[in-house]
C-alpha cells in the first residue's frame, strides 16, 4: 500500500510540476504577446496621428521583439515588417520599404500557402509601393495576382476584393487604359455600396475615382451625380469653420464639381461652388498647390463669363503660389501662364500677354522638347498676339514653326515602325 501511495504522491508531484511548467510557459507566452500588443498599439497610434518619423523606431523595436520572441518566420514578424515598410513609405524611404514587404510576403507564403488572403494583403502593399514609384509593369503583375487570390478565396462582396479591384483600376487608369479601369472601378463601388455605409470613406474613394475617370473622358453627365454624392459625404464629415485635413478634401471635391459644371456650361451652378472652394483655401491652405488649382479654375469660370478683371488676380495668386513652391521655371506654371495670357489678351493688354506666352513657351520647350506637339497651340496663340502688336515677321515664324511641328507629328503617327 505504501508504494502505490508513494506512486500517487510522486505522480501528483509530477502532474503539479508539469502543470506548473505549462502555466509558467503559458504565462510567459501571454506576457510576450501582451508586450507585442502594447508595442503594436503604440505604432498604430503614432501612425494614425501622422507622426511617421516617431513611429519608425517604434516599428523597428516591434520587429526586433517579434523576431526574438516568436521566431523569424512567425506571422507576428510578417505583420511587424509590413508596418515598418508602410512607415518607411510614408517618410519617402522606398528603398528600405521594398525588402521588408518582400520578407513579409515570403513569411506569409511559407506559413499559409501562396493562395492565402494574407498573401494577397502583402502583394497589395508591394504593388502599391511599385505604383508609387512609377514602376507600373511590376505593380500590375503583383496587383493582378492579389486580385486573382481574392477572387478565388473571398466572397463576391468582400471589402478586400473591392480594394484589389480599385487598386488595379487606378493602375490601369494611370497607364491610360481607361477602358480596362472602368469595369473594375464600377465593381469596387458596387461592392462598397452594398457592404459599407453610404458615407463610408471607402465609398467616397470609389466615387472619386470613377467620377475622375468620367471627367477625364469628358463624360460629364455621368461624372456630375457622382461628384454631387461625394460632396454630400465630404460635407457631412467636415466642419467648414474648423481647420483640418477634411477642409482640403472638401475643397478639392468642390473644385472638381465646379470643373464639371464649367465644362457643361452651367456657370450659375459653378460660381457658388468655386466661391466656397476659394473661401476654404483662403482660410486653411492659401499657400499650398491645391489653392493655386482652385484659384486658377475659378479664373477659368470668370473668363467664360466675361469677367476678365476678376480672373486676373486669381491667376496671379495661383502663379505666385506655384513660383514660391516649385520655382519660376517649373512645368506646373505653364497652364497658369497660358490662362493669364488669355486674360491679358481678352483685355487688349497684348504686351503682357506676349510676356506670359513667352514664359509658357520657354518652360514647355525645356520640359517637352522643341518639337513636341503640345507646343503648336502655344505657338498659335503667340503668333496671334504678335500680330496684334504688328510684329508680323515674328508672327509668321511662330506660325511656320507650329505648322512644322504638326507636320512632323503627323508623319511620325503615320509611319510603319516595322519597315
| pLDDT tens column, 113-128 | 999 999 999 999 999 9
What is the grid cell recorded at 286?
492659401
Which tens digit of pLDDT belongs to each residue from 227-248? 999 999 999 988 755 656 778 9
Helices (H) and strands (E) in the chain, counts: 18, 0
Ramachandran bin of 416, using left for φ above 0, alpha for ψ from -120 to 50, beta for the remaining angles: beta
Residues of the chain with pLDDT under 70: 1-32, 240-244, 413-419
Cα–Cα distance measured from residue 416 to residue 419, given in angstroms and rounded to the nearest whole number: 6
**SS3 for 114?**
coil
Burial of residue 380, with CB atoms counted within 10 A of its CB: 0-12 exposed, 13-18 middle, 19 or more buried: middle
Structural domains present in the chain: 246-315 (1.25.40)
Beta strand spans in 290-401 (E): none
User: Maximum CA pair distance of the chain?
Assistant: 127
CA distances for 338 relative to 13, 297, 306, 320, 363, angstroms: 90, 12, 17, 14, 11
Tell me what pLDDT residue 264 has: 97
Which tens digit of pLDDT belongs to each residue from 380-410? 999 999 999 999 999 999 999 999 999 988 8
Tell me what pLDDT residue 415 has: 56
pTM: 0.83
Tell me what pLDDT residue 39 has: 83
Instruction: Say if residues 207 and 229 touch (Cβ distance below 8 Å).
Output: yes
> Phi and psi (nearest 5°) for 130?
-65, -40
Q: Which helix (H) or strand (E) holds 104?
A: helix 94-112
Cα–Cα distance measured from residue 413 to residue 409, given in angstroms and rounded to the nearest whole number: 6
Cα–Cα distance measured from residue 180 to residue 147, given in angstroms and rounded to the nearest whole number: 14
DSSP state of 244: S
Please, what's the b/e burial string for 43-80 (b: 16 or more CB within 10 A of its CB; e: otherwise)?
beebbeeeebeebbebbbebbebbbebbeeebbbbbbb
What is the grid cell recorded at 158?
468582400
Cell 470613406, located at residue: 201
CA distances for 389 relative to 138, 292, 378, 401, angstroms: 53, 31, 17, 19
Amino acid at each position: 500500500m505504501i508504494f502505490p501511495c508513494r506512486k500517487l504522491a510522486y505522480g501528483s508531484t509530477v502532474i503539479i510540476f508539469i502543470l506548473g511548467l505549462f502555466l509558467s510557459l503559458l504565462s510567459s507566452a501571454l506576457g510576450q504577446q501582451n508586450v507585442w500588443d502594447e508595442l503594436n498599439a503604440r505604432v498604430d497610434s503614432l501612425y494614425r496621428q501622422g507622426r511617421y518619423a516617431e513611429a519608425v523606431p517604434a516599428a523597428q523595436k516591434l520587429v526586433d521583439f517579434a523576431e526574438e520572441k516568436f521566431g523569424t518566420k512567425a506571422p507576428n514578424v510578417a505583420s511587424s515588417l509590413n508596418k515598418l515598410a508602410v512607415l518607411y513609405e510614408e517618410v519617402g524611404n522606398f528603398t528600405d520599404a521594398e525588402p521588408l514587404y518582400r520578407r513579409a510576403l515570403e513569411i506569409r507564403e511559407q506559413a499559409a500557402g501562396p493562395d492565402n488572403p494574407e498573401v494577397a494583403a502583402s502583394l497589395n502593399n508591394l504593388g502599391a509601393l511599385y505604383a508609387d514609384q512609377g514602376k507600373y509593369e511590376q505593380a500590375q503583375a503583383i496587383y493582378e495576382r492579389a486580385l486573382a487570390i481574392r477572387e478565388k478565396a473571398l466572397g463576391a462582396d468582400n471589402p478586400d476584393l473591392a480594394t484589389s479591384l480599385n487598386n488595379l483600376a487606378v493602375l490601369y487608369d494611370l497607364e491610360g487604359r481607361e477602358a480596362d479601369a472602368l469595369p473594375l472601378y464600377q465593381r469596387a463601388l458596387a461592392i462598397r455600396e452594398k457592404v459599407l455605409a453610404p458615407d463610408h470613406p471607402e465609398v467616397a474613394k470609389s466615387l472619386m475615382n470613377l467620377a475622375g475617370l468620367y471627367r477625364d473622358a469628358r463624360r460629364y453627365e455621368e461624372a456630375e451625380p457622382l461628384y454631387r454624392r461625394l460632396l454630400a459625404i465630404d460635407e457631412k464629415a467636415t466642419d467648414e469653420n474648423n481647420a483640418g485635413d477634411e477642409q482640403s478634401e472638401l475643397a478639392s471635391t468642390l473644385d472638381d464639381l465646379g470643373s464639371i459644371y464649367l465644362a457643361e456650361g452651367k456657370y450659375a451652378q459653378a460660381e457658388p461652388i468655386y466661391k466656397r472652394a476659394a473661401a476654404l483655401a483662403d482660410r486653411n491652405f492659401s499657400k499650398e498647390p491645391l489653392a493655386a488649382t482652385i484659384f486658377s479654375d475659378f479664373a477659368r469660370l470668370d473668363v467664360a463669363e466675361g469677367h476678365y478683371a476678376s480672373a486676373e488676380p486669381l491667376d496671379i495668386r495661383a502663379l505666385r503660389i506655384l513660383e514660391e513652391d516649385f520655382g519660376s521655371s517649373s512645368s506646373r506654371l505653364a497652364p497658369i501662364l497660358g490662362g493669364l495670357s488669355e486674360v491679358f489678351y481678352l483685355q487688349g493688354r497684348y504686351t503682357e500677354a506676349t510676356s506670359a506666352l513667352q514664359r509658357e513657351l520657354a518652360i514647355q520647350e525645356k520640359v517637352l522638347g522643341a518639337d513636341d506637339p503640345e507646343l503648336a497651340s502655344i505657338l498659335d496663340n503667340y503668333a496671334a498676339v504678335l500680330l496684334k502688336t504688328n510684329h508680323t515677321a515674328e508672327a509668321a515664324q511662330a506660325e511656320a514653326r507650329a505648322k512644322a511641328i504638326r507636320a512632323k507629328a503627323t508623319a511620325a503617327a503615320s509611319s510603319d515602325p516595322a519597315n
